Structure 1
Amino acid sequence: MTELATNLTTYMNQVGQKAKSASTHLARADTKTKNYALTCIKAQIIAHRDDILSANAIDVQNGKDKGLEPALLDRLVISEKVFVGILNSLDDVIGLPDPIGEMSELTYRPSGIQLGKMRVPLGVIGMIYESRPNVTIEAGSLAIKSGNAIILRGGSEAFYSNQALAKCIHLGLEQAGLPTDGVQVLATTDREAVDKLITMTGAVDVVIPRGGRGLIERIANNARVPVIKHLDGNCHTFVDEFANMDMAMKVCVNAKTSRYSPCNVMETLLVHAKIADVALPQIAKAMSDVDSAMMFRVCKNSQAILANLGLNLETATEDDWYAEYLAPILAVKVVDDIDHAIHHINHYGSHHTDVIITDNYTNSQRFIREVDSSSVMVNASSRFADGFEYGLGAEIGISTDKIHARGPVGLHGLTSQKWVVFGHGEVRV
């Protein structure tokens, strides 16, 4: 083992031990103390605004120099809107009810004991993510509020931004009397640190990766601790035969063109054959008006309908139905009916977010029951699949796994429940 690897191993072991120790203090912190810590962190971010933006400017310039992909570069920038969003997310988390200690399902058994469940922190969370330095604050704040310690490993492209934000978190925790080791941002860009983090079974209770498919697949394949994840954001919108056309156009345009980089963007448009001749040209033309570079990867029937409209068309391949483009590219398919739409989504989709546009109640209920995704929507843009929009205050990620946390993961997703029994001297007979 090289000297570097030896040093890294020592460093990661220390990080894990510190997080484990801090988690016991955070788990017993009361709501008032945790909220005060978040308030102090917000004040520190405001006070260090210039330092944060300067650090971010270095990361952005380095990203440009290295030819960082447009989607990652877009996520990296701390714009005025993003900065305000960071502060607002802290306010939102402060305002959320504290789930820790919450009792549910209390019931008496014939034996006389009273049985229930208590909500408790997971313990130590390992978080690996790319770009998006705002995730540092969102994940840190959710961990604090839910009584967990967290180890954050951001991408090398956001190193300086994350370190500047980590300083604000530590100052806020210290001011509130909570252990600064409760939120640790790794001070290394060594990829091996990730490999060690995801195998630290004695210190880390769950790992949450947030980034590109390659990163998440690597972590899912190599982790020795449980993983909360989603691989792709191949989101669909199905325009049913009973859709309101004005609504369909508005929702579809927003779902695709408002931004290209988030995982909740529509990547495939499905249109019912009975209305395709009318609906498809309207929707495609509206998207092209917003972005003239929009490329449509079309099925045979879509090709025939859109052929003479002067749009950018390419014939779709099998791979296009699986694709998450994160770009001005949209797969388009005409389907025979709702059965084919549901089958297509369940077969090709990533189980992230899928939408039906319809005024038919029966079809809407079938869609939400039968589409096997973590978020299913009726007459709304897939862009709403977000922790903030769901009222979670912030999100630490999105899960498409079928475990306790599915969809946007907020406070409750960072907790579990344990059985609690209250007795009066009862004994088992």
Structure 2
Amino acid sequence: MTKVLTAAEMRAIDALTIAAGLPDLVLMENATHRVVEVLERHFAPLQQQRIVIFAGKGNNGGDGLAIARLLFSRFAPRALDVVLAAEPHPQINLLRVDALLGTGLTGPAREPYATLIGEINSGFPLAQVVAVDLPSGMNADTGLAAGAVVRADFSVTFTAPKRAHLLGHGLGHVTVAPIGTPPSLMDEITLCQNEPIAWRHLLAPRPAEGHKGTFGHVLTIGGAAGKTGAIGMTGLAALRMGAGLVTVATSGATLPTPELMTVPLDAAWPVAGKHSVALGPGLGLDPRVPEFVRNCPLPMVVDADGLNSLASAMPAAFAGPRVFTPHPGEMARLLGRPVADRIADAQSLASATGAIVVLKGHRTIIASPDGRTAINPTGSPAMATAGSGDILTGLLAALLATAPPWESTLAAVYLHGLAGELAAAELTERCVIATDLLRFLPEAIRRCA
């Protein structure tokens, strides 16, 4: 999977590249050519363009000056101006290249950069903006801005994406361009982008001799009085993801999906003959949860009220693999404080508990106790609807019944988000409900298999 870097990691890798014999001027020249290739691909013929390049004082500004030189020598655009950090510029250009600040900013953009950022943005929506490495004003590690920030239509970064390229807004279409850095220099980086290459083998065609027992029996536990819909959606999602059998421990004697078997919620939760467990949707606070989570030998997804029941009684160890899937509120209860840094907090909880942690939200974070961490690139605001998390829990439980926990978690989160994107594209972001995700799951699987 694609490695994702902090600004400090990128600086260290650049230094190692230069020490290995690739001069910094060669790196800059390679970066210059990659940016011009993007400009040519999207804005040809460049000879007819009116282009202004906003160049700062550091390496990013040096890239900007080199881009201007290459554009002039190869294309002789209709107009080509370079604006240095302290210069005003008339608002006549329709293609603007942001080479002001790059990835080194840690606080708000100061003057004169804040004014120039405003000037770059003033052309919206007529002017097109291409950011070199990162939109000026954005923190490379968080994707946030403490002050003025460029709104880009395209961003061209080098070697590997920075965290902001996945976490931030206003980057437009992101291109990651190689400039000669040896990939081996990133071998020790543990943060990646979640990509199907890591888990598409889980979606291979089924064996012809397979039967329902081959594909796992999932036990889902939840659905206290008035909340049976939550666990019903979890069970349905597990079936749709391919589980051979699903039993639901719930307060409802029947569920609207006839393929689901039921057992009473207030009886002992029957793990014999099962292959994975989904615990929590619609459960309510239940004193049995901490002991069950500690002692059950099966792979288990713990969500919703399952997590809330653990907040004050987290077991020190587990008898089987565990995946926690908190939203930010549940995460805060598990941590005992508000979420501050989503990546660091997910890694911390995974390390402390021994569970894989799925911190849901825009760009869901997936953290393993062994340090591996992934940022998920799929998803849509359409998924901010009741039951969306219950669907994810079911998808994940189905995969856990037959596959390793890390790959199962990556696959479930990615497919869940992609199904949400597909649903939003057809139904609009406003009109999607949770069970619509299952309607679009088959196409999401086809695109990834």
Q: Same fold judged by TM-score > 0.5? A: no
Question: Which one has the largest radius of gyration?
Answer: 2
Q: Greater relative contact order (Cα 8 A, min sep 6): structure 1 or 2?
A: 1
Query: What TM-score do you get using the length of structure 2 for normalisation?
Result: 0.28
Higher helix proportion: 1
Q: TM-score, normalised by structure 1?
A: 0.29
